[in-house]
A and B are shown apart, each in its own frame.
Chain A
Amino acid sequence: MSEEQKTGRRAFIAASVGAAGFVALAPGVKLMDLAQARAPGESVSGKVRWGMLIDTTKCATGCSDCVAACATENAIEPGSGRPAQSSQWIRKIELKEKTGGHRELSLPMMCQHCANPPCVDVCPTGASFKRADGIVLVDRHICIGCRYCMMACPYQARSFVHEPLHHQNPEVPRGQGCVEACTFCVQRIDRGQGPACVEACGKSGHEAMLFGDLNDPGGEIAKRISTVASSQVRADLRLDPGVRYQGI
């Protein structure tokens, strides 16, 4: 390791410690452990699998702070066309049980970051891919806009950009003619933060969203998943989604 890289790693760890101090104030946000922090120039590790646990009993009907935070972080604006032509990386689904007491539930739905993602299977160019740490992304450089992944996704989590965009966040490139979806705020993860939606949910006091490394046995999310009953949406498809729901 060169001297420069060492300095880089030290600076990064220092920054991460600072970020951890800040984030500890925002409940509901669980950071990656410092042992997993990456130095610049170091690739993401397959030892990590990012995931989310959503407690539907805490998620409030009518609250859409997660959706707003996503839109702010990723610069998602409503388009000029019909509502169905605008991008939605995360949406709130309101559920009402058809039988019995008509139990009502509210939950956020987004890319489930499957371990066996159908969008990656069907993508002709390989633009849909799964990063080593389990985040499913679209490489817009090679996406041709065929929308086959949108046909294949069981969660309808993907959107097609229907018109030219001008107000992108410099860290979140997005553009006309490509398909996109929730990235778990990969730009934040790469600098040691959690997704914006999770942070917003914590700030709102609901603390319905927990983010972390599913593979880390000591981590909060792995502990919670091993102790409380959680479910996967469309578990029958055996896609092993990284987003789990509690209380459905």
Chain B
Amino acid sequence: MAANIVYREIANKRTFWLLLALCGVFIAGGFWAHLTMEHHGHVITGMDNRIVWGLPHVFAVFLIVAASGALNVASTASVFGKSIYKPLAPLSGLLSVALLAGGLAVLVLDLGRSDRIIVAATRYNFKSIFAWNIFLYTGFFAIVGGYLWMMMERRMNAYAKPLGATAFIWRLVLTTGTGSIFGFLIAREAYQSAVMAPMFISFSLSYGTALYLLTLAAACAIDDRPLGDAVVRRLKNLLATFVAASLYFVAVFHLTNLYFTRNHGVENFILVDGGIFTALFWLGQVAIGSVLPLFLLLAPGVNRCRILLSCIAIVIGGFCQMYVTIIGGQAWPLDLFPGFAASSSFFDGEIHGYVPSLWETLLALGGVALAAAIVIVALKLLRFLPERMDDQTLDPSHSDARAQ
């Protein structure tokens, strides 16, 4: 089947250079922000001793979580044997590696001492989920790298399946690790929950698939490559399932928190009274990120435009979700003395505000640009995508069956 599919690099040089230049501007901006932050310290950012993780972490965690989900299409092809997706699988692996690289770059460049990255790479505290994640992330690069090689080198195709299965399991563990960064924080009412890990896995599946579809559509548009409707439409139900699962976990998370009266304060803050966080939760995460895509995907008469629109909505909702989870969780003050109203010079008992500065915004956008640049350059240099992705080429048997 694969024999008559021809893979090609990006042919449209003008668009390629234009996109690369655009990414380059943002990457340079991000690096400049990093150097400025390293020189002056984090005093120039909106982050402080109360909101210790800010916009860079919102973007970084989003990219890392989406990276794991971007591998969905490859997993569907290799692990679950849906051969229609096989020609689309290399892009899936590429996108996941690129997103992870973009996210990690932001995370590393935001460190107080990013010059000591060698320390992070050589000294480990194995009780720390962060330390485990360092292995999970590097392992992910290695495994997906090998997986891409097996997929793209014909002589190695036979080994793509076991490596794909390894990558599949690995990324589930990876997202469990990412979710657990928050789930293991015993002190914070907004985080501590075992649901965090499976919730992050369902987030990753929907964000990653949405970003994949957007990337695929964009890559096809650059060269005017035909993209079949059936293949896009087939992913629609999968995407809707992921969005619904995410919404389910969000509901379970908040309902279990509401069951415990002591958590009513923080739940009231996020769900009712939290200003920007409440707005981002209901409008961003729930309405735009979940309900709208479910409607667009499941209402009758779905077409490609609606699917891609739902992908955009999912990505917007994803950023809102990360903002509410990461910043909102820190904005709520820790209650050291239940039954007392507390005040101090260090803002005990106060809801903490956060206004991102230009610097951390540039750094965060730089990570997105880096991920995009990796995809664009790889598509230009290597043959990741088939020349034609119309339904006839991708799935002759399916089209034949329909024709008969």
Q: Which residues on A are within 8 Å of B, measured CB to CB? A: 67, 79-88, 91-99, 105, 109, 118, 120-126, 142-148, 150-156, 158-164, 176-179, 233-234, 237, 248
The DSSP consensus for interface residues of chain A is loop
> Bound complex: CA of A82 vs CA of B45, how far in Å?
10
Contact B129 A122 (CB under 8 A): yes
Contact A154 B187 (CB under 8 A): yes
Contact B116 A144 (CB under 8 A): yes
Q: A84-B48, A152-B186 are in contact. Are A126 and B336 (CB under 8 A)?
A: no
> Bound complex: CA of A147 vs CA of B86, how far in Å?
42
Residue of A nearest to B353 (CB): A84
Contact B346 A91 (CB under 8 A): yes
Instruction: Please provide the chain B residues from 3 to 57 with a CB less than 8 Å away from any CB of chain A in the complex.
Output: 38, 40-44, 48-53
Contact B52 A126 (CB under 8 A): no
Residue of B nearest to A141 (CB): B119
A94 nearest CB across to chain B (Å): 5
Q: What are 26 A-B contacts defined by CB distance under 8 Å?
A: A67-B345, A84-B48, A84-B347, A97-B341, A98-B340, A105-B340, A109-B344, A118-B185, A123-B128, A124-B124, A126-B123, A142-B119, A144-B112, A144-B113, A144-B120, A145-B114, A147-B112, A151-B53, A156-B50, A160-B52, A160-B112, A163-B40, A177-B113, A178-B113, A233-B336, A237-B187
A83 nearest CB across to chain B (Å): 7
Question: Which of these, B41, B131, B187, B341, contacts A124 with CB under 8 Å?
Answer: B131
Contact B127 A121 (CB under 8 A): yes
B358 within 8 A of A: no
B343 within 8 A of A: yes
Question: Which of these, B43, B113, B130, contacts A81 with CB under 8 Å?
Answer: B43
Contact A144 B117 (CB under 8 A): yes
> Bound complex: CA of A122 vs CA of B51, how far in Å?
18
Contact A156 B348 (CB under 8 A): yes
Q: A92-B345, A145-B113, A156-B334 are in contact. List 5 more A-B contacts (CB 8 A).
A: A67-B345, A84-B50, A156-B336, A176-B112, A177-B42
Question: Which of these, B112, B341, B343, B344, contacts A161 with CB under 8 Å?
Answer: B112
B377 within 8 A of A: no
Contact A85 B337 (CB under 8 A): no
Contact A96 B341 (CB under 8 A): yes
B404 within 8 A of A: no
Contact A88 B113 (CB under 8 A): no
Contact A151 B188 (CB under 8 A): yes
Residue of A nearest to B128 (CB): A124
Contact B337 A125 (CB under 8 A): no
Contact A153 B116 (CB under 8 A): no
Contact B125 A177 (CB under 8 A): no
Contact A92 B344 (CB under 8 A): yes
Contact A118 B346 (CB under 8 A): no
A165 nearest CB across to chain B (Å): 9
> Which residues of A sit under 8 angstroms from B345, Cβ to Cβ?
67, 83, 88, 91-92
Residue of B nearest to A121 (CB): B127
A101 nearest CB across to chain B (Å): 13
> Bound complex: CA of A69 vs CA of B83, how far in Å?
71
Residue of A nearest to B345 (CB): A91
Instruction: Please provide the chain B residues from 110 to 153 with a CB less than 8 Å away from any CB of chain A in the complex.
Output: 111-114, 116-117, 119-120, 123-125, 127-131, 134
9 cross-chain pairs, A with B, having the tightest CB-CB distances, nearest first: A145-B112, A177-B112, A154-B187, A124-B130, A163-B41, A84-B48, A81-B43, A126-B125, A162-B43
A97 nearest CB across to chain B (Å): 6
Contact B340 A96 (CB under 8 A): yes
Residue of B nearest to A87 (CB): B49
B383 nearest CB across to chain A (Å): 38
Q: Produce 1/0 per residue, B150-181, CB < 8 A to A.
A: 00000000000000000000000000000001
> Which residues of B sit under 8 angstroms from A148, Cβ to Cβ?
128, 130, 181
> Which residues of A sit under 8 angstroms from B339, Cβ to Cβ?
97-99
> Which residues of B sit under 8 angstroms from A98, Cβ to Cβ?
339-341
Q: A118-B186, A146-B130, A162-B41 are in contact. Are A123 and B125 (CB under 8 A)?
A: yes
B342 within 8 A of A: yes
B282 within 8 A of A: no
Q: A84-B50, A105-B340, A176-B41 are in contact. Are A142 and B346 (CB under 8 A)?
A: no
> Which residues of B sit under 8 angstroms from A95, Cβ to Cβ?
337, 340-342
> Which residues of A sit under 8 angstroms from B78, Cβ to Cβ?
none
Q: A82-B48, A154-B187 are in contact. Are A93 and B336 (CB under 8 A)?
A: yes
> Which residues of A sit under 8 angstroms from B49, Cβ to Cβ?
84-88, 150, 156, 158-160
Question: Which of these, B52, B127, B184, B334, contacts A147 with CB under 8 Å?
Answer: B52
Q: A88-B345, A94-B343, A97-B340 are in contact. Are A125 and B52 (CB under 8 A)?
A: no
Q: A123-B128, A125-B125, A248-B337 are in contact. Are A156 and B186 (CB under 8 A)?
A: no
